[in-house]
Structure 1
Amino acid sequence: MRAVVDTCIVIDALQKRSPFDREAVRIFHAAAKRDFAGFITAKSLLDIYYLMHRVFHKDDAVRAEIEKLLILFDLLDTSSEDCRRALSSEVSDFEDAVMVETALRSGARCIVTRNLKDYSRTRIPVFSPQNFLELIGRSE
């Protein structure tokens, strides 16, 4: 299964944000075991770098974490057409709409996020971390 993992899930795992980090780390482990094909968008990668740098203030350390992240998750490019389609999307938040359009174009089957309400009007299934782990057979 091809799944786009939202920025919040990645940050939960990398910054050990309790109580969300537990499921986020399990998603990372599932990606490492190739239980699913995990993706993040290039835009998300920029956000992840920024958020990590704000916490750790060490460019080398953040870049090392990004390199590890790119072993687990492949990057999806966002096209100009994705952005154009997002402008007329029913998803109210533009950044989320761009992620949806990028995911759809890339053939992703779902998006994994904690912010389910932000994706209430999408044309792609959206799962909480817990529901996604159940879907791929990795629930506790």
Structure 2
Amino acid sequence: MLKAFVDANVIVSVLNKEYPLFTYSSRVLSSGSLKGVELYTSPLCLAIGFYFATKKSGKQMAKQKLALIYEHLSIAKIDKAAVNKALLNPKVQDVEDGFQYYAAVEAGCKCIVTENLDDFYFAEIPVLSSEQFLKTYIFK
């Protein structure tokens, strides 16, 4: 079973149909329906996605879109352990990225899918763009 963590920017690109990224990010999210692939995100990523989707679509439509995407995702917890690890790791400069990373690790994710690869410079698991994820794990 491949468990992968989907970062907020991938979700935002799908919610707002941001091209050319949408071509890859939408396929990443749809890969969650494949046998042997389980996609995770955090409540914080969903909230970030909702915020940016409301700017383009309004609150009601953003909520509907988010509900559709949510069906294909499992939720990684940002619990006390994840927060503690992010705060105590001297390499983590942006705590939000640290929270996401440790939530992913604690959920057993083998990689992080993001378009901001540099945000996870401290990661000890692979950090891939949507395109890299698809080439590495889905269309191999």
Q: TM-score scaled to structure 2, two decimals?
A: 0.90
Give the match for residue 110 of structure 1: 111
Task: State the distance in 2 between where 1:129 and 1:121 align.
Answer: 19
The CA deviation at 1:34 is 4.0
Give the match for residue 42 of structure 2: 41
Relative to structure 1, the CA distance from residue 34 to residue 72 in structure 2 (aligned partners, 3 Å threshold; closer, same or farther) is: farther
Aligned length, in residue pairs = 138
Identity of aligned residues (%): 22
Give the match for residue 98 of structure 1: 99
Name the amino acid aligned to 1:27.
V
Would the aligned equivalents of 1:3 and 1:37 in 2 still touch at CA under 8 Å? yes
Q: Which runs of 4+ in 1 moved over 6 A?
A: none
Task: State the distance in 2 between where 1:69 and 1:34 align.
Answer: 17
Structure 2: state its 5+ residue gaps: none
Q: TM-score scaled to structure 1, two decimals?
A: 0.90
Greater mean deviation of Cα atoms: 90-99 or 27-36: 27-36
Would the aligned equivalents of 2:41 and 2:104 in 1 still touch at CA under 8 Å? no
Give the match for residue 60 of structure 2: 60
Structure 1: state its 5+ residue gaps: none
Task: State the distance in 2 between where 1:129 and 1:35 align.
Answer: 18
Equivalent position SS for 2:45: helix
